[in-house]
């Protein structure tokens, strides 16, 4: 970046207009460490999709604006709420309007016991009283309290199921831990990395004595205030507001957001004795429109820096010519597909009382004489009271996870019918829904296998050798909204540091898990 000498600031391309890419663009033009007198970089955001937001989307449904993917974000992670403050939309934050949730276990809905840490029990008696386990299974858990366990054990990353199952038994894994941790990641805890998804498990497993007590003794996050936030117009409105501010007329920065534009290749351009190397982006269909950066004869963009906020397979293709080791580490990362069926159900047709925010369905559950399609159910108009409508309950059913993509074989009508049949059996619903909407997110959730964080550290190390290039997004250190925002902003700071020759290198773009 140049100081106030009349020359323009650098040009940086952000590939991917999901929340990570948009957060990167926001950080690029708002970085607090811009040199005095310097101009913010010119930023061009490119996305192959026809819309911005990635996996954050909303739609009008039954007279309300509802989210079609993530409908909340963790309050204890500051990245999302900090961004809301910067955008001036703190007054639009809304807390969850109900408390508690249930699990479908042993034939019926049972409230989750108190004293859980991401589904892992830290106290025995509340677990026993919940009825989630049989008396014999509860005794198996009690062994953790009475049989001495010495500190130490296996060093390094392990699966979530491996740690919890060894200490508390398989039923706890299947009925509590997998529905929660697996549900958050659309995966299975038999494969998910504990270090990447719940590192406290590893710390607790290395302590002497009871695993449950050790987990309960670990520092807990601040519990004051709401656990989750959303926005009155849905989490997707964060994207809308962010784009509005980025493109605000008269802003001191120069940002363009171009959708329907694929980046087919990234080419390293030669530098000179006084100028560092630049990067050329070969654009696909729709990429020859107006842009604040140089457009070559074939529609290429010439830029000073690049942030790749795209899924692992696409990042691997673009990095392969320049960082084959990083591409080789990115390529094997697997993704899970999920779906959401949003329903409006007449209130007087529901026979069961809707307690809490909804319920989870373990993958071992059977409904309608087959393995359950549902993975969870959210009572939207109970969880978010501003969505409540007279005479209707808004209910959202989740389907799909790693290893179960049956929902992709059904068309929308078939999926709605199958899901509603399962839901009707659980909630004693008579008749049918008054409205329904199906949303599919194919290859949406990266799967964090054992060793994931080591893989990510190596990817970042290799990418750091490329001048002014960084990677960001859910692929790396967290799939939640705050983690993705943090990842994008960190990538932006890294690229700016690389361009100024100060601070950290560009590849070190991940946020803390």
The CATH number of residue 364's host domain is: 3.90.660.20
Q: What is the DSSP string of 45-76?
A: EEESSSSSBTT--EEEETTEEEESS---EESS
Q: 134-160: per-residue pLDDT in tens?
A: 999 999 999 999 988 877 666 789 999
Phi, psi of 416, deg, nearest 5: -60, -45
Number of domains in the chain: 3
Residue 297 resides in a domain = yes
The CATH number of residue 189's host domain is: 1.10.3110.10
Residue 85 resides in a domain = no
My answer on whether 282 and 426 are in the same domain is no
My answer on whether 365 and 460 are in the same domain is no
| Residue spans of alpha helices (H) in 375-468 | 380-383, 412-427, 452-463
My answer on whether 150 and 278 are in the same domain is no
What does the pLDDT profile of the chain (513 residues) look like in tens digits? 333 344 568 999 999 999 999 999 999 999 855 555 667 899 999 999 999 999 999 999 999 999 999 999 999 899 999 999 999 999 999 999 999 999 999 999 999 999 999 999 999 999 999 999 999 999 999 999 998 887 766 678 999 999 999 999 999 999 999 999 999 999 999 999 999 999 999 999 999 999 999 999 987 655 567 889 999 999 999 999 999 999 999 998 999 999 999 999 999 998 765 677 899 999 987 544 444 444 443 448 999 999 999 999 999 999 999 999 999 999 999 999 999 999 999 999 999 999 999 999 999 999 999 999 999 999 999 999 999 989 999 999 999 999 999 999 999 999 999 999 999 999 999 999 999 999 999 999 999 999 999 999 999 999 999 999 999 999 999 999 999 999 999 999 999 999 987 543 444 444 444
Residue 59 resides in a domain = no
Cα separation, 177 vs 162, in Å, equals 11
My answer on whether 339 and 426 are in the same domain is yes
My answer on whether 290 and 366 are in the same domain is no
The domain in which residue 481 lies consists of 11-54+237-333+449-500
Q: 352-410: per-residue pLDDT in tens?
A: 999 999 999 999 999 999 999 999 999 999 999 999 989 999 999 999 999 999 999 99
Cα separation, 365 vs 370, in Å, equals 8
Residue 3 resides in a domain = no
Q: Please say which residue of 430, 446, 462 terminates a domain.
A: 446
My answer on whether 318 and 399 are in the same domain is no
My answer on whether 210 and 276 are in the same domain is no
My answer on whether 268 and 351 are in the same domain is no
Handedness of CA 28, 77, 444, 463 (dihedral sign): positive
Q: Please say which residue of 183, 217, 251 terminates a domain.
A: 217
Does this model's pTM top 0.75? My answer is yes
The CATH number of residue 305's host domain is: 3.50.50.60
Residue 206 resides in a domain = yes
My answer on whether 405 and 262 are in the same domain is no
My answer on whether 314 and 362 are in the same domain is no
Residue 102 resides in a domain = no
Cα separation, 280 vs 267, in Å, equals 5
Report which of 310, 215, 332 is spatially closest to residue 264, judged by C-alpha positions: 310
My answer on whether 323 and 471 are in the same domain is yes
Residue 505 resides in a domain = no
**Cα angle value 496/498/503 (rounded, 5°):** 90
My answer on whether 339 and 417 are in the same domain is yes
Report which of 505, 511, 513 is spatially closest to residue 463, judged by C-alpha positions: 505
Q: Please say which residue of 446, 467, 482 terminates a domain.
A: 446
Residue 6 resides in a domain = no
């Amino acid at each position: 970046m140049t100081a106030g000498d009349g020359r323009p600031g650098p040009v940086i391309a952000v590939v991917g207009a999901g929340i990570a890419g948009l957060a990167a663009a926001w950080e690029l033009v708002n970085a607090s460490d811009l040199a005095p007198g310097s101009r913010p970089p010119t930023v061009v955001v490119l996305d192959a999709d026809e819309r911005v937001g990635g996996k954050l989307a909303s739609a009008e449904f039954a007279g309300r604006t509802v989210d079609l993917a993530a409908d909340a974000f963790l309050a204890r992670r500051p990245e999302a709420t900090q961004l809301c403050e910067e955008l001036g939309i703190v007054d639009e934050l809304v807390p969850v309007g109900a408390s508690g949730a249930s699990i479908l276990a042993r034939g019926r809905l049972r409230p989750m016991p108190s004293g859980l840490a991401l589904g892992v029990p830290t106290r025995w008696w509340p677990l026993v009283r919940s009825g989630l386990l049989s008396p014999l299974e509860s005794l198996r858990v009690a062994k953790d309290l009475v049989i001495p366990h010495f500190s130490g054990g296996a060093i390094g990353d392990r699966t979530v199921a491996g740690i919890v199952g060894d200490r508390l038994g398989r039923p706890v894994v299947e009925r509590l831990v997998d529905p929660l941790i697996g549900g958050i990641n659309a995966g299975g805890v038999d494969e998910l990395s504990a270090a990447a998804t719940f590192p406290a498990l590893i710390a607790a497993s290395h302590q002497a004595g009871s695993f449950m007590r050790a987990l309960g003794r670990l520092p807990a996050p601040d519990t004051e205030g709401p656990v989750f936030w959303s926005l009155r117009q849905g989490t997707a409105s964060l994207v809308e507001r962010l784009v509005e501010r980025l493109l605000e007329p008269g802003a001191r920065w120069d940002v363009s957001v171009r959708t329907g534009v694929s980046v087919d290749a990234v080419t390293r351009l030669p530098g000179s004795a006084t100028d560092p190397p630049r990067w050329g982006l070969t654009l696909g269909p729709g990429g020859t429109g107006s842009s604040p950066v140089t457009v070559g004869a074939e529609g290429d963009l010439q830029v000073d820096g690049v942030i790749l906020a795209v899924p692992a397979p696409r990042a691997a293709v673009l990095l392969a010519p320049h960082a084959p080791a990083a591409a080789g580490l990115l390529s094997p990362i697997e993704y899970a597909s999920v779906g959401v069926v949003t329903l409006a159900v007449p209130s007087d047709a529901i026979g069961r009382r809707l307690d809490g925010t909804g319920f989870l369905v373990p993958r071992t559950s059977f409904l309608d004489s087959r393995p359950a399609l549902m993975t969870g159910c959210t009572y939207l108009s109970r969880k978010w009271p501003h969505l409540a409508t007279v005479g209707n309950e808004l209910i959202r059913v989740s389907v799909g996870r790693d290893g179960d993509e049956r929902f992709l074989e059904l068309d929308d009508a078939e999926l709605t019918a199958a899901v509603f049949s399962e839901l009707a059996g659980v909630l004693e619903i008579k008749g049918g829904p008054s409205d329904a909407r199906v949303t599919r997110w194919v290859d949406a959730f990266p799967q964090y296998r054992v060793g994931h964080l080591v893989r990510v550290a190596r990817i970042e190390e290799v990418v750091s050798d490329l001048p002014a290039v960084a990677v960001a997004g859910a692929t790396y250190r967290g799939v939640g909204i705050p983690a993705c925002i943090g990842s994008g902003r960190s990538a932006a700071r890294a690229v700016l540091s690389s361009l100024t020759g100060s601070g950290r290198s560009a590849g070190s773009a991940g946020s803390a898990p």
